Chain A
Amino acid sequence: MGFDLNSFLAFIIFGVTIGVVYGIVALGISLIYSGLDIVHFAHGEMYMFGAFFGLVLADNVGLPYPVALVGAMIITAIVGMSVERVFYRRLTRAGGGYTVAGMGMIICGFGMSVAMVNVAYFIWGAEAEPFRANLDYIPRLQFPGDIEVPESYVLTAIISVILMIGLHYFLRYTKPGLAVRAVAHNKDIAYLMGINVPLMISLIFGVACALAAAAGVLIGPMQSVQVEMGYLMLMKAFAAAVVGGFGSLPGAIIGGIMVGVFENLGAAYISASHKDIYAFLLLILVLMVKPSGLFGVEAKVKA
């Protein structure tokens, strides 16, 4: 295919819209990692559960799409906090990070992923479900060169920016946000300072899972909703988180956008058949140049 500037711009625009969704999921992964030193392998399933909750609220309950989005975030946050409290707490309390408990936590995450997929099969079945959101009130964006960005993509970009600003505000300018950052920095010292560490860990899980749910509900109208949707998103979000620097929140977003754009351009100009490779090619390239990722620190040292 020859080079055409309009097409090139279109690929970048669409890459950014999917990239911010990767970024939101990566944000949750990074948040959990920075708070607990663990990689949450069931995060893709939280994204899938969120999408299904949004679908149920919008289609079955009949709530407007934005309300369904918020509802799905709240329900998934509760699910995430419950999972953390019931299944992960003993392991995270035992240390997490580079410890035996941390290894156990990774395996527990895998187990939770499989369990959640099977629960979802049981509840919703294997068939993909259409997510028909009424987005008529959102304008289509027109760019020069006959580039038209559909309503769902515009909404995705808007909601993603709102979520990022909201998270930034929460972490920077609220007391619970400060407590979360303190726990992320050092749990023991945070505990000695009078912070309710277990509660903050639950809060971290809740916020991270709510972000994953938001991503699921945003992607639903574009790609339909199905039980197996979590795995690929998790892989892309991991790539985004690593490219941006594991544990770095701005890095997760930038990494997500980079993955989205890189993968779209790769699909357009190299081969669309192997689209999923590009995210990991980018990951390898970035790690070769800067092993800690673009915004990551060289090593995370705990007191």
Chain B
Amino acid sequence: MKLKNRILAGALTVGVCFAAAATTYADDIRVGITMRMVSENGQAYGQMMMDEIKGINEAGGINGHMIKATLMNDECKSDKGVANANKLVFQEKVHLLIGSSCSSVTLPIVDVTAKAGVPQLVPHSTNSKITQKGSEWVFRVPVSGRYYGGVNAKYVGENIGTKIAYICAADAASVGDCANMEKQMKARFGVEPAYRADVQEKEVDFRAHMQKIKSMKVDGILVAALAETMARALVQSYEAGIGEDVRRIGSSSASNAPVPKIAGDAAKGVFFTAAYAAADQRPIAKLFNEMVKARYGIHAPDHDFSQAYDLVRIMEIALKNTALTGSLADDRTAIRDAIANVKGYEGLASGPISFCAAATPQCRDGNRTAVLIGYTKGGEDFETEVLARVTMEEDFGLE
């Protein structure tokens, strides 16, 4: 009798434990975020995502489930990004992974999520290879570099000239931006770069290049680099005596606030393609600008902010359309399918964002509309203007 009671009590305890675990599991939707948060802006957009998720929870959550978000900083370092992704996927057992900001970090994370079968929403990375890996789990919210390259090349060739010097930093996004621009300039106008220099990711001294470029009398200089590196190159281009008549073309990271802040007057006249312009006159954009300024003290949010915001909204839509079962693997698959069903989302982005089921770049590069932006003033209180808005064909830039 005693033994029977003990067995019953044990079974009851185990049952209660399992039930508790199952309840906890069913209650929370676990979301892992890994992003570059080394700068003031990085910390602000990371915080903004957490605040938006908190807002969803305070409004009742998603179909009664709370979102439990874990935010991690990968510092734009691929080893840290992969470590974060592994921790989030295998230890935290997240339903959805968001990350990362830098293409060089996102590229290896795609392999982690593909292997583990976890849906991944990419907030900022532009390198076109991210969606060309063929993972059925990855979705890109920002504009792919292949579209940026086409828009840049068209504008440059038709308005500036075809004798272009390229300065390409070694980070994955810049390598991709340079390659896409070069490819499109060749395809559209049949020209090769007048000069091309591959520099290190955090290069500090561009003087030798600028001196060479100056002697070549080019029409424009493409600087494809991360924000701080780009700012240095812009400043040094003027120091080398290259005049304003030679137009400076930025890669997509020219959108980041450190560029005008560090480059100062050297940022004026620089133009670039991005997914969002703070100079956007739509009411939603104005409200967003005011919100970011009021909450985080950011003078003018760049597309890293808008994409982070749009991503949370897309995630919210997808999760609302997901029927959670309690099985982690099934729920991950259901969330993936729900994201693939997001069509024509119109938020802050330069164009509507749509995904579909096939594991192809056509389906997984959600935003095909790039906006061409120019700096009209540099420094802390920089100003921009919208030069053009261009939507590309979904298979543009693919072989």
Contact of B199 among A7, A130, A272 (CB under 8 A): A272
Identify which of B91-99, B236-244, B369-377 touches chain A.
B236-244
Contact of A130 among B197, B211, B214, B231 (CB under 8 A): B231
Contact A272 to B215, CB < 8 A, known contacts A127-B39, A130-B264: no
CB neighbours of B240 from chain A (8 A): 148, 150
CB neighbours of A126 from chain B (8 A): 38-39
CB neighbours of B38 from chain A (8 A): 126-127
Per-residue A-contact encoding for B193-216, CB less than 8 Å = 1, 0 else: 000011110111101110110110
Tell me if A272 and B262 are in contact (CB < 8 A): no
**A4: interface (CB < 8 Å):** yes
Q: How far is the CB of B138 from chain A (nearest CB, A)?
A: 28
Number of interface residues of B (CB under 8 A): 32
Tell me if A128 and B231 are in contact (CB < 8 A): yes
**B258: interface (CB < 8 Å):** yes
* Bound-complex Cα distance A147 to B239 (A): 12
Tell me if B208 and A129 are in contact (CB < 8 A): no
Tell me if A275 and B203 are in contact (CB < 8 A): yes
Per-residue A-contact encoding for B156-197, CB less than 8 Å = 1, 0 else: 000000000000001000000000000000000000000001
Contact of B205 among A127, A129, A147, A223 (CB under 8 A): A223
* Bound-complex Cα distance A130 to B236 (A): 13
Contact of A128 among B198, B207, B228, B241 (CB under 8 A): B228
Tell me if A273 and B208 are in contact (CB < 8 A): no
Q: Which residues of B (2-36) have their CB < 8 Å from a CB of A? A: none
* Bound-complex Cα distance A224 to B267 (A): 15
| 7 nearest A-B pairs in the assembled complex, by CB-CB distance | A273-B198, A150-B239, A126-B38, A223-B204, A128-B228, A10-B211, A130-B262
**A11: interface (CB < 8 Å):** yes
* Bound-complex Cα distance A152 to B232 (A): 14
Per-residue A-contact encoding for B288-316, CB less than 8 Å = 1, 0 else: 00000000000000000000000000000
Q: How far is the CB of B280 from chain A (nearest CB, A)?
A: 25
Contacts from A to B (Cβ < 8 Å): 1, 4, 6-7, 10-11, 14, 18, 125-130, 132, 146-148, 150, 152-153, 222-224, 226, 228-229, 232, 264, 267-268, 271-276
**B133: interface (CB < 8 Å):** no
Tell me if A129 and B262 are in contact (CB < 8 A): yes
Contact of B200 among A14, A226, A273 (CB under 8 A): A273
Tell me if B231 and A272 are in contact (CB < 8 A): no
Tell me if A18 and B39 are in contact (CB < 8 A): no
Contact A130 to B170, CB < 8 A, known contacts A4-B215, A14-B211, A18-B205: no
Q: How far is the CB of B362 from chain A (nearest CB, A)?
A: 33
Tell me if A130 and B261 are in contact (CB < 8 A): yes
Per-residue A-contact encoding for B241-285, CB less than 8 Å = 1, 0 else: 100000000000000001001111000000000000000000000
Closest to A121 in B: B38
Contact A273 to B170, CB < 8 A, known contacts A6-B215, A224-B231: yes
* Bound-complex Cα distance A127 to B236 (A): 19
Contact A273 to B199, CB < 8 A, known contacts A7-B215, A268-B208: yes
Tell me if B198 and A272 are in contact (CB < 8 A): yes
CB neighbours of A274 from chain B (8 A): 200
CB neighbours of A272 from chain B (8 A): 197-199, 203, 208-209
Contact A222 to B239, CB < 8 A, known contacts A127-B40, A272-B208: yes
* Bound-complex Cα distance A137 to B258 (A): 28
Q: How far is the CB of A64 from chain B (nearest CB, A)?
A: 19
Tell me if A224 and B228 are in contact (CB < 8 A): yes
Per-residue A-contact encoding for B342-371, CB less than 8 Å = 1, 0 else: 000000000000000000000000000000
Q: How far is the CB of B54 from chain A (nearest CB, A)?
A: 25
Q: Give the interface centre of A125, A129, A273 by most chain B CB atoms within 10 Å.
A: A273
Tell me if B214 and A146 are in contact (CB < 8 A): yes
Tell me if B39 and A11 are in contact (CB < 8 A): no
Contact A7 to B211, CB < 8 A, known contacts A127-B39, A150-B239: yes
Per-residue A-contact encoding for B307-338, CB less than 8 Å = 1, 0 else: 00000000000000000000000000000000
Q: How far is the CB of A197 from chain B (nearest CB, A)?
A: 39
CB neighbours of A130 from chain B (8 A): 231, 261-264
Closest to A225 in B: B262
Contact A1 to B207, CB < 8 A, known contacts A224-B262, A276-B200: no
Contact A7 to B212, CB < 8 A, known contacts A223-B204, A273-B198: yes
Q: How far is the CB of A149 from chain B (nearest CB, A)?
A: 9
Tell me if B215 and A1 are in contact (CB < 8 A): no
Closest to B204 in A: A223
Tell me if B208 and A11 are in contact (CB < 8 A): yes
Tell me if A223 and B39 are in contact (CB < 8 A): no
25 A-B residue pairs with Cβ-Cβ distance under 8 Å, sorted by A, are A7-B211, A10-B208, A14-B207, A14-B211, A126-B38, A128-B228, A128-B262, A146-B214, A146-B215, A148-B240, A150-B239, A150-B241, A223-B205, A224-B232, A224-B235, A228-B202, A268-B208, A268-B212, A272-B197, A272-B199, A272-B203, A272-B208, A272-B209, A273-B199, A273-B200
Closest to A6 in B: B215
Tell me if A132 and B264 are in contact (CB < 8 A): yes
Q: How far is the CB of B4 from chain A (nearest CB, A)?
A: 62
Q: Which residues of B (208-233) have their CB < 8 Å from a CB of A? A: 208-209, 211-212, 214-215, 228, 231-232
